[in-house]
Chains A and B, each alone.
Chain A
Amino acid sequence: MNAKATRAAFGEALIEIGAKEPRVVVLDADLSKSTMTRKFANTYPDRAYNVGIAEADMIGIGAGLALSGKIPFVCSFACFVVGRFETLRVSVAYTEANVKIVGTHAGIAIGEDGYSQMGLEDMACLRALPNIPIIQPVDETETKQAVAYAVQHQGPLYLRLTRQAVEPVSPPDYRFEFGKAVVLKPGEEITILGTGGVVFNCLEAAKLLHSEGISAEVVNVSTVKPLDEELILRSAGKTGHVVTVEDHSIHGGLGGAVAELLGEFLPTPVNRLGVVGFGESGDPKRLYAKHGLDSAGIAQSVRKFLNR
């Protein structure tokens, strides 16, 4: 399997699911070329609506469709769709409308477009809202299964997707389970909890560390909310040190969720890796290097954290 953007895998999955599930309706706000829903719209023109550059209206229309029995996907960049927080809060979360919120272009890895187009606080916002789970699939395999899960999940749900191609990391026989994290590489001395495209970098970092005699456990946390508390507590209890890695603000995302969990139930040193402050324009690879989210940066943070 080749590297593929999770937004692309999402677009492909939608078409397959659209054939089986006639209640699926897709809404876009003039970014259907970017959210990869165009093919769905061409295949099922009666079930795809582009409402123009009007995300709040898109979310509200989605809520109305959901309250009348449809399964709408409302799609835009993560920052724009979650930016209409108040509409998500009342029309979707509080109303318990079965709306699937899709935020693509998550993180600084979108690169050159710069901060205003980067979803960097979306998970923090939605973690604060009751009733909206957050899934950030790690690769093509997991994305397709997560989209299928989203359709059968009763209630709203947020899918966080990447613009950039991400390397496959899921084993071939992988079965996505909502709320379950997955140990991709077992280890003894440090737990690296990653979510999204950076999980591949975590695995690469673990290889570097292994060559230096540091045994790292790498976990893919694709359901960021609700957290797989059991697995995380077990791994943290074993290794005694936890690093979180996400292409998102270090505040309120995976790192925040893990720190809250461990702080309350199993005080453990935690090092949160992610984006501090605003993002910026640049080549995605160099951006990851600058923000310490490439494999070298993650490995370096682990060494420092363990005083090795």
Chain B
Amino acid sequence: MPLDYDKLSEIARECRVQIIRMLTHAGSGHPGGSLSAIDILTVLVFGRMRYDPKRPDWPDRDRLILSKGHCVPALYAVLAKAGYFPESLLPTLRKLESPLQGHPDRVRLPGIEAATGSLGQGLSISIGMALAATLDGKPSRVYCMLGDGEIQEGQVWEAAMAAPRVGQPDRPLDNLCVILDYNKIQLDDFVKKVMDLEPVIEKWKAFNWPVIEIDGHDLRQIDKALDQAEATKGRPSFIVAHTVKGKGVSFMENDPEWHGKAPKKDEGIRAIREILGVAENDWADYLKKTPHVAAIVREIEGL
């Protein structure tokens, strides 16, 4: 059945609102990369993956490893919406005793597959999971999202070399799909300025990966790329998703400052308004007609 892109687009919008909500409450965190990743995570979790939030340890589930762990607000938003935990927990992000740690913690929060955030480790873990699934003849697919700055880490290239080789020839890891969130910005500055990755597609191809290049905010392109990855046999697949850091919030887009800075109250509310596509003049009316958004805004105002 073809995916309902309008519906997915609506979910992605709601998740963006939750990302801003969480980060404004937390007063710290990483909005830029969360907003660049959310469309891909939305298609994966609400369009592609097999899982059961009631049984987070279901052995046949598909796995999602957010190797760029600092963007976990995006993952929390989709996991909450998928039913792993109530959305009311989202404002506890980064607060003492919250299972929503600043970076993913597998032990504290069911639905998180591995602790990540110490960059460069997630692809190796994904290889292990993909290998276990092939050894056990399970249908599970493993999705790993890497950050662009993250692939400057050496371990990524150890794993890049290994993944197309491990299990050959009888058990290739064609159940593994890696997605690069190529938003072109890392903590210190633009990736190009810090340590350029280019030519990134040629690099992965040279490591024997089939590479698919897409616009990481076009839900249809994301979906089609995942189709293509799933149809690829004998090798894992690599998707280069060109994205915009801070996507959906005008003052965050393409600005390295918003890699790791939380919005203040007024910035958070403005960001939510922009995400919802409401003009400033219509905002009061909109809030009257949309109580669940009004509640989120009131909550932020009360911080």
Where the two chains meet, the residues of A that have a C-beta atom closer than 8 Å to any C-beta of B are 25, 46-47, 49, 51-52, 54, 56-70, 72, 86-87, 89-91, 94-97
Contacts and interface: CB of A to CB of B under 8 A. Distances in A.
B127 A61 contact: yes
Nearest to A46: B135
Contacts of B159: 54, 57, 60-61
A166 B109 CA distance: 45
A55 B115 CA distance: 19
Interface in B130-184: 130-133, 135-136, 140, 154-155, 158-159, 161-162, 166, 171
B107 interface: yes
A63 B127 CA distance: 9
Given A60-B127, A63-B114, A54 B133 contact: no
A94 B115 contact: yes
Contact of A56 (B132, B136, B155): B155
Contacts of A96: 106-107
Interface residues of B, number: 36
Contacts of B126: 64
B110 interface: no
Given A61-B159, A95-B125, 7 more contacts: A51-B162, A64-B125, A64-B132, A67-B125, A68-B133, A69-B132, A95-B107
B118 A56 contact: no
Interface in B231-261: none
Given A51-B166, A57-B158, A63-B114, A91 B132 contact: no
B114 A65 contact: no
Given A67-B128, A87-B121, A61 B162 contact: yes
Contact of B131 (A56, A57, A65, A94): A65
B124 A68 contact: no
B158 A56 contact: yes
Contacts of A25: 135
Nearest to A25: B135
Contacts of A91: 114-115, 121, 124-125
A67 B127 contact: no
Nearest to B135: A46
B105 interface: yes
Contacts of A49: 131, 166
B123 interface: yes
Contact of A63 (B118, B120, B124, B140): B124
B223 interface: no
A67 B133 contact: no
A72 B128 contact: yes
Contact of B162 (A52, A72, A95): A52
19 contacts: A49-B166, A52-B162, A56-B121, A56-B124, A57-B124, A57-B158, A57-B159, A60-B122, A60-B155, A64-B114, A64-B131, A65-B128, A65-B132, A67-B128, A86-B118, A87-B124, A91-B124, A94-B115, A95-B114
